[in-house]
Amino acid sequence: MKNNGLKKIINKSIALALIWTIMLVLLYFLFNLYFTIADFQWIYDISPDIYYSLKQNYLNNNLLFLIGFVIWTIGIISILIYVIYKFFKFNSALTNSINDLYQNDIDYITLPKELEELEQKLNKLKRESEKNERLARENEQKKNDLIVYLAHDLKTPLTSIIGYLSLLDEINDMPKDKQTKYIKTTLDKAYKLEDLINELFDIARFNSETIIINKEALNLNMMLEQIIDDFYPILKENNKEINLEYQDEINLMGDSDKLGRVFNNLIKNAIYYSTDKDITIKINKDDNNTFIEVTNKGVIPEDKLNKIFEKFYRVDYARNTKTGGSGLGLAIAKEIVELHNGRIEAKSTNGYTSILVTLPLN
261, 338: one domain: yes
Quote the CA–CA distance of 89 and 143 in Å, as a whole number.
46
In 171-255, alpha helices (H): 176-208, 220-230, 232-237
| Contacts of the segment 226-233: beta carbons below 8 A, 24+ positions apart | 227/260, 227/263, 227/264, 227/267, 228/267, 228/281, 230/264, 231/267, 231/268, 231/271
Answer whether residue 159 is part of any domain.
yes
pLDDT in tens, 271-308: 988 888 999 999 999 989 999 999 999 888 887 887 88
Answer whether residue 163 is part of any domain.
yes
pLDDT in tens, 131-175: 888 877 876 776 676 676 666 667 777 888 888 888 888 888 888
Answer whether residue 90 is part of any domain.
yes
End-of-domain residue from the set 80, 101, 122: 101
231, 356: one domain: yes
pLDDT in tens, 174-233: 888 888 888 888 888 888 788 777 767 766 666 555 677 889 999 999 999 999 998 888
How would residue 315 be classed by pLDDT, with cut points 50, 70 and 90?
low
Look at the chain and report how many structural domains it folds into: 3
Answer whether residue 116 is part of any domain.
no
Answer whether residue 237 is part of any domain.
yes
Q: What number of CA atoms fall less than 13 Å from residue 134's CA on the CB side?
A: 7
Buried b / exposed e over 67-104, threshold 16 CB at 10 Å, is ebeeebeebeeebeeebeebeebbeebbeebeebeeee
Q: What's residue 292's pLDDT?
A: 95
DSSP state of 303: H
Quote the CA–CA distance of 195 and 329 in Å, as a whole number.
13
334, 238: one domain: yes
DSSP state of 277: S
Quote the CA–CA distance of 74 and 232 in Å, as a whole number.
91
254, 354: one domain: yes
Quote the CA–CA distance of 302 and 70 in Å, as a whole number.
76
Q: What's residue 9's pLDDT?
A: 67
How would residue 313 be classed by pLDDT, with cut points 50, 70 and 90?
low
Percent of the chain with pLDDT over 70: 70
327-344 average pLDDT score: 86
Residue 353, helix vs strand vs coil: strand
Buried b / exposed e over 322-340, threshold 16 CB at 10 Å, is eebbbbbbbbbbbbbbeeb
pLDDT in tens, 17-51: 777 777 767 766 666 655 555 555 666 667 777 66
| Contacts of the segment 71-77: beta carbons below 8 A, 24+ positions apart | 71/24, 72/20, 72/21, 72/24, 75/17, 75/20, 75/24, 76/17, 76/20
Quote the CA–CA distance of 240 and 270 in Å, as a whole number.
10
Quote the CA–CA distance of 267 and 263 in Å, as a whole number.
6
Amino acid identity, position 295 = T
Mean pLDDT of the chain: 77
Residue 103, pLDDT > 90, answer no
Cβ neighbours of residue 95 under 8 Å, at least 6 residues apart? none
Backbone angles phi, psi at 147, to 5 degrees: -60, -40
Cβ neighbours of residue 224 under 8 Å, at least 6 residues apart? 244, 263, 281, 283, 292
Answer whether residue 86 is part of any domain.
yes
More confident residue, 185 or 83: 185
Cβ pair 353, 276 in contact under 8 A: no
222, 356: one domain: yes
End-of-domain residue from the set 83, 101, 119: 101
What is the span of the domain harbouring residue 49?
Answer: 4-101
Answer whether residue 117 is part of any domain.
no
199, 222: one domain: no
Cβ pair 195, 188 in contact under 8 A: no
Answer whether residue 123 is part of any domain.
no
More confident residue, 126 or 235: 235
**CA 194 to centroid of chain Cα atoms:** 34
End-of-domain residue from the set 176, 208, 240: 208
